[in-house]
């Protein structure tokens, strides 16, 4: 079962959602405003789903969603009485995975929760792995080098996972741009270069040894420590 944060300033709605989640066996953390939701998320990195009301005090659901997306790909479901197309589009653009309008059926809400949790588990491989002292915990979105945590942005984390999942394969800047940023991104390949440069710096000696630039082609992670032209 999953650890889930439910944030809604309407106590009755929050209690209704939490009661149904608990009946399904989930561990539930409650927040009554956006700031409290962010604090709970920071303190509970093993959270597997956030359910956020949009119209909350302090920070609204859209703001919380954008803040979480800076560091995590945890599934987010937005709740709102606002059913206009603009509001739903704004929710998805903020990084939400699903959008449910009030009033809602608790049974259908639980089914959406189940789908989001299953989908997020399918995208994860082993929870953690170790490559020459670099440990990646996919579930918690954490990276450690010899036990010391390295803080990465979402894009840096995605680049690292892409290269780790395909050790030795060279990815061009264009491929990384399409895979990480998406086909509809209008930036250029210099965006990839700057992210890889920051990623290598954060990884320190490990990055210098294993995160390689293949001149004129792109980037790869190699397991051996042989020298290559940068």
pLDDT tens-digit map of 4-63: 999 999 999 999 999 999 999 999 999 999 999 999 999 998 899 999 999 998 899 999
CATH of the domain at 201: 1.10.10.10
| Close Cβ partners of 32 (under 8 Å, ≥ 6 residues apart) | 7, 8, 9, 11, 14, 56
User: Is 40 in the same domain as 106?
Assistant: yes
Based on the domain organization, do 107 and 134 belong to the same domain?
no
- Which residue in the block uniquely carries the two structure tokens 């490559």? 131
The whole-angstrom separation of Cα 133 and Cα 26 is 34
Last residue of a domain, one of 85, 103, 122: 122
Last residue of a domain, one of 122, 157, 188: 122
Confidence of residue 121 (pLDDT cuts 50, 70, 90): low
pTM greater than 0.75: no
Is the residue at 104 inside a domain? yes
Residues 100 and 168 in one domain: no
Q: Are residues 115 and 133 in the same domain?
A: no
Same domain, 114 and 148: no
Q: Are residues 57 and 165 in the same domain?
A: no
Q: Is the same domain home to 27 and 68?
A: yes
The percentage of residues in the chain with a pLDDT greater than 90, rounded to a whole number, is 49
User: Looking at the 3D structure of the chain, how many domains does it have?
Assistant: 2
pLDDT in tens, 68-115: 988 788 899 999 887 677 767 877 888 888 989 888 899 999 999 998
Q: What are the residues facing 137 on neighbouring strands?
A: 128, 142
Hey, which residues does 78 pair with through a beta bridge?
52, 99
Domain boundary among 122, 141, 157: 122
Confidence grade of residue 185 (pLDDT, cut at 50, 70, 90)? low
Whole-number pLDDT of residue 195: 94
Q: Determine the pLDDT at residue 180.
A: 86
**14 found inside a domain:** yes
Q: Which domain holds residue 116?
A: 3-122
CB atoms within 10 A of CB 110: 16
- Considering the domain architecture, whether residues 134 and 110 belong to the same structural domain is answered as no
Let me know whether 105 and 8 are in one domain.
yes
């Amino acid at each position: 079962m999953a650890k889930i944060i439910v944030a809604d300033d309407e106590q009755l709605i929050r209690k209704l959602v939490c009661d149904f989640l608990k009946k399904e066996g989930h561990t539930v953390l409650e927040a009554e405003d956006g700031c409290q939701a962010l604090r709970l998320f920071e303190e509970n990195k093993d959270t597997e789903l956030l359910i956020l009301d949009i119209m909350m005090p302090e920070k609204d659901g859209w703001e919380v969603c954008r803040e979480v997306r800076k560091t995590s790909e945890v599934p987010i479901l937005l709740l709102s009485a606002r059913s206009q197309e603009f509001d739903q589009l704004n929710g998805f653009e903020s990084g939400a995975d699903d959008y449910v309008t009030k009033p809602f059926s608790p049974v259908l809400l639980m089914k959406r929760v189940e789908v989001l949790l299953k989908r997020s588990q399918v995208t994860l491989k082993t929870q953690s792995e170790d490559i020459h002292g670099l440990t990646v915990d996919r579930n918690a979105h954490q990276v450690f080098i010899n036990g010391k945590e390295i803080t990465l942005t979402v894009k840096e984390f995605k680049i690292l996972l892409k290269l780790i999942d395909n050790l030795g394969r060279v990815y061009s800047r264009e491929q990384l741009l399409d895979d990480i940023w998406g086909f509809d991104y209008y930036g250029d390949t210099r965006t990839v270069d700057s992210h890889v440069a920051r990623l290598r710096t954060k990884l320190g000696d490990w990055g210098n040894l294993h995160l390689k630039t293949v001149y004129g082609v792109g980037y790869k992670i190699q397991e051996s420590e042989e020298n290559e032209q940068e």
